[in-house]
Structure 1
Amino acid sequence: MPVGTLGCRTRPGGPASPNGRKANGAMAGVIDQENHFLADLGRRVRHARTVRGLSRKVLSQLSGLSERYIAQLEGGQGNVSIILLRRVANAMGVRLDDLITGDDSVPDWPVIRDLLTKADPNQIAAAKDILSGGNRNEASNGARVALIGLRGAGKSTLGKLAAERLGWTFVELNAEIERENALSVQEIFAIYGQEGYRRLEQAALRRLTEQPGPLILATSGGIVAEPLTYDLLLQAFYTVWLRARPEEHMNRVREQGHLPTTGDHASAMQELRAVLASREPLYARAAAQVDTSDIPVSVMLDRLTATIETRFGLARAE
């Protein structure tokens, strides 16, 4: 028996207080965005069904869902269960992500995606080179080093000291973004959100790839979570992962005043370990690693500069 119905949205009634009207206006904007998303989702489901010559009745039989559910789904009405949507996608033989995030502006995307899944590493590298403007190899020829790692790894401290020792320029990416936009990182997040900040981050990084002369760049810990930005970093910079034990990360962040000295330490450590575990495979894509655990800053600095000197064939000045 076909099953499935969509839940209906309800909005709280009653008069809004003066202080609540602004919040209600923001919530109305969010609801409008969600309604737009549901309408687009319904349109993609309807298109996928009709292009395959399926009636709602046949799709109902194939998916085990009611015709009413399918009609509501295609009409962009109510909340959508991801599990039931998956059943609709499977019944039509389409990918779930195409229904959710389909982009009509790139009609060849399904073909490109399928070709990429069969491509070898050289073909993928060539495709990335073309799509990025064909200047990836040129960008990576300069003596540029990027330090990556979780907050508290020592990127800013060691990066500045290593640049001074080598006579290179030191740049902190967050500071560069703040300088270019005349806003603090906190203000950028408040005004533009995380997506807006990431756009500014990538733009600043691209400009730095064109900056002449050797430099050392300290990045944010989360830069690895943005695929295009991180790929640009890996191609244009010699990346070095500054590693440390979770306990060291936590102690350094507390010493820097970015975390309270009291509170639920066990919960904070658990969260830090989870973030580090999720990012480790991404950090591991770096060209080199330097362990900064349980050693003095002077030893950390020696390890980092030795790694850079070896990579670029620099002679240590005595």
Structure 2
Amino acid sequence: MPASSISQRLGKKVRQLRLKRGSSLRDIAEEAGFSSRFLVEIERGRANPSLLKLNALAKSLDLELGELCALASPAPSRQPIALVGLRGAGKSTLGQKLAQSLDTVFVELDAIIQAKAGISIAEIFELEGPEGYRRRESIALDCWLQENQEGVLAVPGGIVNSAESWERLLEKCCTVWLKASPEEHWNRVAAQGDTRPMAGDPGAMGRLRSLLKERTPAYRRAEIHIDTRRRTPVSCLTELENSLRSTS
């Protein structure tokens, strides 16, 4: 492959990663220890940075050098991608970034359920109970799978409690388990401003640990496992893209 082509692909990847991270040219250049002008030249495919500078650039993007230099583009998905895991695993954040990277649609199954029901998820549980919610979940999943041959779908963590729906996901989708520790699930939900599951309940963390332990055997059946603990969304996205290429 010509050196110019490699430089152009590297530059395009650096720009995409920087924009996904929400960083300016100046921010990344300062973290990497070189000028904004040099970073512009890298992104335009006109520079030939040394390994030392590439390593510094990778660190400024929260990546390892090997992750930055993996230049192959993600293969287009031949089937829908379903992200699973407990609440706070990062399904919405990573799902949106993955869909943008693959130039496809991202949707949350709960949003489809609410749209079809015309009421909130909380109201469904209150009026119809867990069984009513699972029925609606199954119908919404069937409809989405029939209408979409590709796309990124974030599914509720409890979908594994419905054997039929879970088996359908495993059959029809490339399933991805986003793993996190109970503490990180807890902290991420709280960071979103929702402290209701924990407020005034000293046993909440214990139940969260038990829930994760109970569901882990089912989650392990997913085709791809991404450990999100103490990692940035960009780093997780890079690993997921690489995993999708290797399974395509």
- TM bucket, shorter chain: 0.5 to 0.7
User: Which entry has the higher C-alpha Rg, 1 or 2?
Assistant: 1
Q: Which amino acid aligns with 1:299?
A: S
Aligned to 1:249: 185
Mark the CA change 1:206 to 1:262 in structure 2 (over 3 Å): closer, same or farther: closer
Following superposition of structure 1 onto structure 2, how do residues 123-162 of structure 1 map, counting pairs within 5 Å? 142-162=78-98
CA distance in 2, matches of 1:276, 1:261: 15
Aligned to 1:238: 174
CA distance in 2, matches of 1:186, 1:260: 13
Instruction: Check if 1:190 corresponds to 2:121.
Output: no
Q: Which amino acid aligns with 2:216?
A: E
Unaligned ranges ≥5, structure 2: 1-76
Q: Is the 8 A contact 1:254 1:261 kept in 2?
A: no
Unaligned ranges ≥5, structure 1: 1-140, 313-318
3-state SS of paired residue (2:147) = coil
3-state SS of paired residue (1:239) = strand
- Please list the CA deviations of residues 97-119 of structure 1 after superposition, one character each: whole Å capped at 9, or x if unmatched: xxxxxxxxxxxxxxxxxxxxxxx
Q: Is the 8 A contact 1:159 1:216 kept in 2?
A: yes
Following superposition of structure 1 onto structure 2, how do residues 13-162 of structure 1 map, counting pairs within 5 Å? 142-162=78-98
Instruction: Check if 1:304 corresponds to 2:240.
Output: yes
Give 4+ residue runs of structure 1 displaced > 4 Å after superposition: 260-266
Aligned to 1:30: none
- Please list the CA deviations of residues 266-294 of structure 1 after superposition, one character each: whole Å capped at 9, or x if unmatched: 52221111100011001111111001001
CA distance in 2, matches of 1:177, 1:267: 30
Higher RCO (CA < 8 A, seq sep 6+): 2
3-state SS of paired residue (1:190) = helix
3-state SS of paired residue (1:171) = strand
Q: Which amino acid aligns with 2:98?
A: A
3-state SS of paired residue (2:148) = coil
2:137 to 201, 204, 226: 201
1:268 to 197, 204, 209: 204
CA distance in 2, matches of 1:190, 1:260: 16
Aligned to 2:164: 228
Q: TM-score, normalised by structure 1?
A: 0.51
Cα displacement (A) at 1:158: 0.5
Q: Which amino acid aligns with 1:272?
A: L
- Please list the CA deviations of residues 142-173 of structure 1 after superposition, one character each: whole Å capped at 9, or x if unmatched: 52110110111001111111101110111100
Aligned to 2:101: 165
Following superposition of structure 1 onto structure 2, how do residues 2-21 of structure 1 map, counting pairs within 5 Å? none
Aligned to 1:280: 216
3-state SS of paired residue (1:146) = strand
3-state SS of paired residue (1:189) = helix
1:181 to 117, 127, 138: 117
CA distance in 1, matches of 2:219, 2:91: 13
Q: Is the 8 A contact 1:238 1:287 kept in 2?
A: yes
Q: Is the 8 A contact 2:83 2:175 kept in 1?
A: yes
